[in-house]
């Protein structure tokens, strides 16, 4: 009789379908696992348009960090291309990703109870090139240490979109499901607690800022892994990306009020919840202060 190999329980990320599963199911899995794969979030036409519109920047972007910064560069990934300003560079990003109804639905449910409005944290291409090492496991909300502990509310909703198939070999995002619920955030995940967000292009792995994850290793010789990270935070938190500085006023005027608001072309008005009005120009809402006529 063949010897039975030792079975190690593998954690798994659940998968749902954007077209058939309700938001409540996504929220249920997010509460339990901290991450969920949602298939068919983007059609193949949208994926193609995104890649085409971003292609000139992808080509022009160097691999790895651009300047010296010990801690940032450790995080960046020596073989990873990163760039932002996606709403400036791609209409498809502005229309199909920034205001994706499922991401807004999840953000309405998890962020809105704690702020008057939420805005973009960053829209960022994360392209792991062949022979890229794995990134270290982290929680995205560690950007704001006071906001990332076992007892803090979720302050960040993120999605890693696959713009090419994500495979074990090409560096699909590694995730430790359930790590958002740990009582000790200093504890590191063991290998048997980590799974990978293996998914076809067009799927997205929605996760909160409290779950441990990282880019995987790209062990292929010639297959870049195209990831597009999109995230939202409370409107009173400082985002990673200076959204409105990455989008010119001229370009912003072509976008919808909702897109403008998410990018920081609107003030944060908390007067209805006993807060102040932040992010103003001449103490007015941004378009008024800037003298926009539309
Ligand atoms: O590229 C990935 O799969 C994840 C990268 C990541 O987690 C990050 O840069 O915050
Ligand atoms: Fe991350």
The three-state (H, E, C) secondary structure of the chain, written as one string: CCCCCCCCCCCCCCEEECCCCCHHHHHHHHHHHCEEEEECCCCHHHHHHHHHHHHHHHHHCCCCCCCCCHHHHHHHCCCEEEECCHHHHCHHHHHHHCCCHHHHHHHHHHCHHHCCCEEEEEEEEEEECCCCCCCCCECHHHHCHHHCCCCCCCCEEEEEEECCCECCCCCCCEECCCHHHCCCCCCCCCHHHCEECCECCCCEEEEECCCCEECCCCCCCCCCEEEEEEEEEECCCCCCCCHHHCCCHHHHCCCCHHHHHHHCCCCEECHHHCCCEECCECCECHHHHHCCCC
- Residue 53 falls within a domain, yes or no? yes
Compute how many other C-beta atoms are within 10 angstroms of the C-beta atom of residue 243: 25
Domain extent at residue 105: 15-290
Q: pLDDT truncated to tens, each residue of the chain (294 aa)?
A: 444 445 555 589 999 999 999 999 999 999 999 999 999 999 999 999 999 999 999 999 999 998 889 888 889 988 999 999 999 999 999 999 999 999 999 999 999 999 999 999 999 999 999 998 999 999 999 999 999 999 999 999 999 999 999 999 999 999 999 999 999 999 999 999 999 999 999 999 999 999 999 999 999 999 999 999 999 999 999 999 999 999 999 999 999 999 999 999 999 999 999 999 999 999 999 999 999 985
Say what the pLDDT of residue 108 is.
Answer: 98
For ligand 1, what atom is nearest to the CA of residue 124? 9
Whether residue 10 lies inside any domain: the answer is no
- The whole-angstrom separation of Cα 38 and Cα 30 is 11
pLDDT at 72: 87
| 49 close to 98: Cβ distance less than 8 angstroms | no
- Residue 2 belongs to some domain of the structure: no
Residue 128 sits at φ, ψ, to 5 deg, of -90, 115
Residues bordering ligand 2, an ion, CB closer than 5 Å: 140
Ligand 2 mean position to 192 CA, how many Å? Answer: 19
Best mutation site among 63, 213, 218, 227 for ligand 1 pocket (most ligand atoms within 8 Å of CB): 213
Maximum alpha-carbon separation in the chain: 80
Rounded Cα gap, residues 202 and 6, in angstroms: 35
Q: Note the pTM of the prediction, 2 decimals.
A: 0.96
Pocket of ligand 1 (CB under 6 A): 126, 128, 135, 140, 160, 173, 213-215, 227
Identify the CATH number of the domain in which residue 121 sits.
Answer: 2.60.120.620
Atom of ligand 1 nearest to the CA of 173: 3
Residue 4, domain member (yes or no) = no
Predicted pLDDT of residue 74: 81
Structural domains counted in the chain: 1
Which residue from 76, 199, 215 has its CB within 8 A of the most atoms of ligand 1, so it is best to mutate?
A: 215
Cα(98) to ligand 1 centroid in Å equals 18
């Amino acid at each position: 009789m063949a010897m039975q190999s030792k079975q190690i329980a593998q954690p798994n990320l659940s998968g749902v379908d954007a077209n058939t599963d309700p938001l409540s199911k996504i929220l249920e899995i997010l509460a339990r696992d901290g991450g969920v794969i949602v298939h068919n979030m983007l059609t193949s036409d949208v994926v193609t348009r995104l890649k085409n519109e971003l292609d000139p920047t992808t080509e022009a972007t160097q691999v790895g960090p651009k300047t010296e910064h010990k801690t940032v560069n450790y995080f960046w990934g020596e073989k990873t291309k990163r760039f932002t300003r996606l709403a400036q560079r791609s209409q498809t990003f502005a229309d199909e990703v920034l205001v994706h109804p499922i991401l807004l639905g999840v953000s309405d449910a998890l962020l809105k109870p704690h702020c008057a409005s939420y805005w973009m944290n960053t829209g960022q291409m994360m392209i792991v090139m062949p022979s890229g090492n794995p990134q270290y496991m982290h929680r995205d909300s560690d950007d704001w240490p006071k906001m990332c502990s076992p007892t803090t509310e979720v302050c960040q909703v993120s999605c890693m979109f696959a713009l090419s198939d994500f495979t074990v070999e090409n560096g699909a995002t590694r995730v430790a499901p359930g790590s958002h619920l740990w009582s000790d955030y200093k504890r590191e995940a063991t290998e048997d607690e980590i799974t990978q967000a293996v998914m076809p292009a067009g799927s997205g792995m929605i996760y909160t800022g409290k779950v441990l994850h990282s880019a995987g290793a790209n062990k292929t010789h010639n297959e870049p892994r195209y990831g597009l990270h999109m995230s939202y935070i409370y409107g009173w938190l400082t985002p990673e990306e200076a959204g409105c500085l990455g989008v010119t006023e001229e370009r912003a005027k072509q976008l919808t009020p909702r897109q403008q608001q998410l990018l920081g072309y609107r003030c944060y008005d908390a007067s209805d919840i006993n807060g102040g009005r932040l992010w103003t120009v001449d103490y007015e809402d941004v378009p008024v202060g800037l003298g926009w006529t539309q």
